[in-house]
Amino acid sequence: MTMPTLETRWLMTLRGRITAPVVVPPMHVFNVEEASLSSPRINAKAVNPSGDWVRIQANGNWKLDVRLMFQTDDGEHIYCHYNGVLRMDPGLGDRLASGEAIPGSDIYFRSAPFFETASKKYAWLNDILAIGKITSFGGGEVVYELFEVL
């Protein structure tokens, strides 16, 4: 019997900048100051309101609940929401607290974004499943590479 494989293709880059959180244990709520989507097929910037709710688990890991509204460079609107997980390995909290930009190779930080739009041009986003892998996180900035699951 052959094992199934998961095929993906690069979809876009998601970049964001967040503020210091409002902390109400076990929640940290971050305002998304700016965010963008970029690829040959789409370029968009986040518009307000957009935010990032993080539940801190007893083991220190983060569970993400992110909601972003984007406006494309041609005036269309796209809603993006995703859940995810950051595994808080030993020493990672101290590195983040120092403002260090941590490369994706040093951190398990994954997301599962979904997109919704009424735009005919970008309607293809409504019908895909995507996954995100962090490439850099720290100092209030986050960069994901997003992949479409085929």
pLDDT level of residue 83 (50, 70, 90 thresholds): very high
What does CATH list as the number for 8-149? 2.40.160.20
Asked which of 3-12, 65-74, 79-88 is least confident by mean pLDDT, the reply is 3-12
CA pair distance 144, 12, nearest whole angstrom: 9
Instruction: Provide mean pLDDT across the span 92-106.
Output: 91
CA pair distance 35, 32, nearest whole angstrom: 7
Residues 6+ apart with CB under 8 A from 143: 13, 14, 15, 16, 134, 135, 136, 137
Domain positions in the chain are 8-149
Does residue 127 have a pLDDT over 90?
yes
Q: What is the pLDDT of residue 129?
A: 95
Over residues 32-75, the pLDDT tens digits come to: 999 999 999 999 999 988 999 999 999 999 999 999 999 999 99
Going by C-alpha positions, the residue among 74, 65, 64, 68 that lies closest to residue 46 is: 68
Q: What is the pLDDT of residue 103?
A: 95
